[in-house]
């Protein structure tokens, strides 16, 4: 047995050397490793395929296939009538850089390695200020994600049933705006619960609010156009509009929602982004008079209103508020919602209701630009809604989250102390998945966030959501995914942090 055969045989005998690969691939890998480690040096002659197959006790075709792969990648050089020799990898690299011939006689050129091109100005802006990790409302006790109320078994049964049906059409890309039965279920749901004026044809399934906003930004506005956004504003909307080259014009939010001033009306928006039923992040509800005024402005300025109804299911007293879209008589509102909050974030299924004149362009763009899929998930979700599980689930978690909200408010009030309680205000809106602890104007909510992090808490400063200089200070505290026991414990710690931040 030749030294090369001995070396390769020893490598192949190792139990942990790619045990799951076919023998041909194992031999190729063994030879490649030996060549890189210079144990099979440049110019060494390898055994013939017949001799190596005999030495290793494997089929000759296996050796021929491995040698062929090594030759194709430049590790060995076969010389007719002489044999197979190990290539000089350093000479090969030099030849490729200089444009000369390699050891196989092939002419190669390798361009000079240039530094990676820089990001675009837009890319630099987006990556310089990565908002997601700082702004997404998550449990105020890090690491806690309580999805114990989700009906896993029902959901699994529905998914299994869809897969057992083995429908080939559900393995394709989603066309025509999404799975028709799901669009029908969403249509009925929005009519009854949100007073949305909608037909099945107007409903399109997306991967969530971000994709819905991105489609609107691409189809309804051009780079350089102006988008009015609430101030403070949802970070995800800001990032989408900035990525599409829109100019953001912040409009102040007060207790009645977006408050248009003469200086705002002096500009001409192409898009108006609002969260009227539960403003994100302040929790304000847009008044009826403001809603009507905004619709009138949209008509006068030929603008589109993008209504983000991200958490309308979570209203803990009374019926859910009617959507702004239901008041629209001029087809100026694009309505959008998501299942990520009410089911689980990773489901990545949302929807949008487009005015009739936008339906065909939006469906075409959705397919051409995004190639949507997940029809199996959409089919299971359609059954989940049609069988009444969705309504039952919403009713259940609304009670759970409402109780957790009260536990957090009660815990903070109990432990803040009389002096701090006079300086802060805990939001009283009976909806949503977070509350706002408003602080005095002189308080530093960013510094308080850092103090909270040291105590093992994850809260977010209200001032960081502003585009213009912030007019309010506060902390956003998410409670939905924290167990009641953890809320009581961490709420006490948060109260202590707040006390230290407002102490003078």
Nearest in space to 427 (alpha carbons), one of 386, 472, 492 = 472
Kindly report the CA angle at 194 between 193 and 197, in degrees rounded to 5? 115
pLDDT at 493: 94
Domain boundaries, the chain: 3-98, 174-387, 396-502
Measured CA to CA, the distance from residue 53 to residue 46 in angstroms comes to 12
pLDDT at 226: 97
pLDDT at 138: 57
For 246-302, the DSSP string reads PEEEEEEEETTEE---HHHHTS--SEEEE-TTS-TTT-----HHHHHHHHHHHHHTT
Asked if 456 contacts 141 with a C-beta cutoff of 8 angstroms, the reply is yes
Two structure tokens written together for 368? 């051409």
pLDDT at 253: 97
CATH number for domain 3-98, candidates 1.10.10.10, 3.30.70.1400, 1.10.3720.10, 2.102.10.10: 1.10.10.10
Tell me the C-alpha to C-alpha distance, in Å, between residue 158 and each of 152, 167, 319, 376.
10, 14, 29, 10
Q: What are phi and psi of 118, to 5 degrees?
A: -70, 165
CATH number for domain 396-502, candidates 3.90.1150.10, 2.60.120.920, 3.40.50.10320, 3.40.640.10: 3.90.1150.10
Tell me the C-alpha to C-alpha distance, in Å, between residue 68 and each of 49, 51, 357.
11, 16, 60
Measured CA to CA, the distance from residue 1 to residue 488 in angstroms comes to 75
Cβ partners under 8 Å of residue 35, min gap 6: 75, 76, 86, 87, 89
Cβ partners under 8 Å of residue 312, min gap 6: 193, 194, 277, 278, 320, 321, 323, 337
Tell me the C-alpha to C-alpha distance, in Å, between residue 482 and each of 311, 346, 372, 407.
18, 18, 33, 11
Nearest in space to 410 (alpha carbons), one of 432, 433, 426, 434 = 426
Measured CA to CA, the distance from residue 441 to residue 436 in angstroms comes to 14
- Residue 228's CB: how many other CB atoms inside 10 A? 28
Kindly report the CA angle at 367 between 347 and 185, in degrees rounded to 5? 50
pTM: 0.77
pLDDT at 72: 87
Question: Which residues is 333 bridged to in the sheet?
Answer: 305
Indicate the DSSP class of residue 119. P
Asked if 375 contacts 349 with a C-beta cutoff of 8 angstroms, the reply is no
SS3 content of the chain, % helix, strand, coil (to 5): 50, 15, 40
pLDDT at 185: 97
Residue 129 DSSP SS3? coil
Measured CA to CA, the distance from residue 416 to residue 487 in angstroms comes to 15
pLDDT at 480: 87
Measured CA to CA, the distance from residue 28 to residue 395 in angstroms comes to 61
Determine the CATH number of domain 174-387: 3.40.640.10
Measured CA to CA, the distance from residue 210 to residue 378 in angstroms comes to 18
Residue listed under structure tokens 């009581």: 488
Question: Which residues is 230 bridged to in the sheet?
Answer: 251
pLDDT at 345: 86
Q: In 416-436, which residue ranges form alpha helices assigned H by DSSP?
A: 418-423
* Beta-sheet pairing, 257-258 with 247-254: antiparallel
The residue ranges of DSSP E strands in 129-269, in sequence order, are 203-206, 226-231, 247-254, 257-258
Measured CA to CA, the distance from residue 446 to residue 460 in angstroms comes to 8
Residue listed under structure tokens 């399109």: 204
Q: Please give the chain's pLDDT, 504 residues, in tens.
A: 788 888 888 899 898 898 888 999 999 999 999 998 889 988 889 999 999 999 999 999 999 999 999 988 889 998 888 889 999 877 655 554 555 444 344 444 444 555 666 778 777 777 766 655 555 555 676 655 677 889 999 999 999 999 999 888 888 787 788 999 999 999 999 999 999 999 999 999 999 999 999 999 999 999 999 999 999 999 999 999 999 999 999 999 999 999 999 999 999 999 999 999 999 999 999 999 999 999 999 999 999 999 999 988 888 887 777 899 999 999 999 999 999 989 988 899 999 999 999 999 999 999 888 888 888 999 999 999 999 999 999 999 999 999 999 999 999 999 998 888 899 999 887 888 999 999 999 999 999 999 999 888 989 999 999 999 999 999 999 998 888 888 999 999 999 999 988 887
């Amino acid at each position: 047995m030749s030294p090369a055969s001995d070396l390769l045989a020893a490598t192949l005998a190792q139990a942990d050397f790619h045990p799951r690969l076919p023998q041909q691939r194992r031999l190729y890998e063994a030879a490649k490793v030996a060549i890189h480690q210079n144990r099979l040096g440049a110019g060494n002659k390898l055994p013939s395929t017949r001799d190596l197959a005999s030495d290793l006790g494997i089929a000759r075709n296996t050796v021929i296939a491995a040698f062929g792969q090594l030759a194709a990648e430049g590790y060995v050089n076969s010389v007719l009538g002489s044999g197979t020799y190990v290539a000089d990898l350093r000479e090969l690299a030099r030849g490729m850089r200089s444009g000369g011939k390699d050891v196989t006689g092939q002419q190669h050129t390798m361009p000079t390695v240039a530094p990676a091109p820089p990001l675009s100005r837009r890319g630099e802006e987006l990556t310089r200020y990565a908002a997601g990790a700082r702004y997404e409302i998550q449990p105020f006790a890090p690491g806690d994600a309580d999805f114990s109320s989700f009906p896993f078994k029902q959901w699994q049964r529905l998914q299994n049933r869809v897969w057992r049906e083995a429908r080939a059409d559900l393995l394709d890309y989603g066309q025509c705006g999404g799975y028709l039965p799901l669009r029908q279920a969403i249509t009925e749901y929005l009519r009854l619960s949100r007073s949305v004026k909608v037909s099945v044809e107007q409903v399109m399934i997306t991967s969530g609010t971000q994709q819905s906003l991105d489609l609107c930004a691409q189809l309804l506005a051009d780079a350089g156009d102006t988008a009015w956004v609430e101030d403070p504003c949802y970070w995800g909307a800001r990032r989408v509009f900035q990525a599409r080259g829109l100019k953001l014009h912040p409009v102040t939010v007060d207790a009645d929602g977006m408050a248009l001033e003469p200086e705002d009306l002096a500009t001409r928006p192409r898009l108006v982004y609002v969260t009227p039923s539960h403003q994100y992040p302040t929790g304000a509800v847009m008044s009826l008079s403001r809603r009507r005024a905004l619709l009138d402005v949209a008509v006068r300025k030929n603008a589109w209103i993008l209504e983000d109804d991200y958490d309308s299911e979570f209203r803990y007293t009374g019926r859910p508020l009617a959507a702004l879209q239901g008041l629209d008589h001029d087809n100026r509102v694009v309505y959008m919602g998501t299942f990520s909050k009410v089911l689980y974030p990773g489901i990545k299924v949302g929807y949008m209701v487009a005015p009739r004149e936008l339906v065909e362009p939006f469906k075409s763009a959705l397919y051409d630009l995004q190639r949507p899929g997940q029809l199996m998930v959409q089919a299971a979700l359609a059954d989940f809604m049609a069988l009444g599980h969705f309504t039952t689930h919403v009713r259940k978690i609304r009670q759970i989250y409402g109780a957790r909200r009260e536990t957090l408010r009660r815990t903070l009030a109990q432990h803040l102390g009389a002096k701090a309680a006079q300086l802060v205000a805990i939001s009283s809106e009976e909806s949503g998945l977070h509350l706002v602890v408003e602080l005095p104007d002189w308080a530093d909510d960013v510094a308080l966030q850092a103090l909270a992090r040291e105590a093992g808490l994850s809260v977010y400063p209200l001032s960081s959501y502003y585009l213009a200089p912030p007019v309010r200070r506060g902390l956003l505290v998410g409670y939905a995914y924290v167990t009641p026991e953890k809320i009581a414990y961490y709420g006490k710690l948060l109260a202590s942090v707040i006390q230290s931040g407002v102490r003078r």
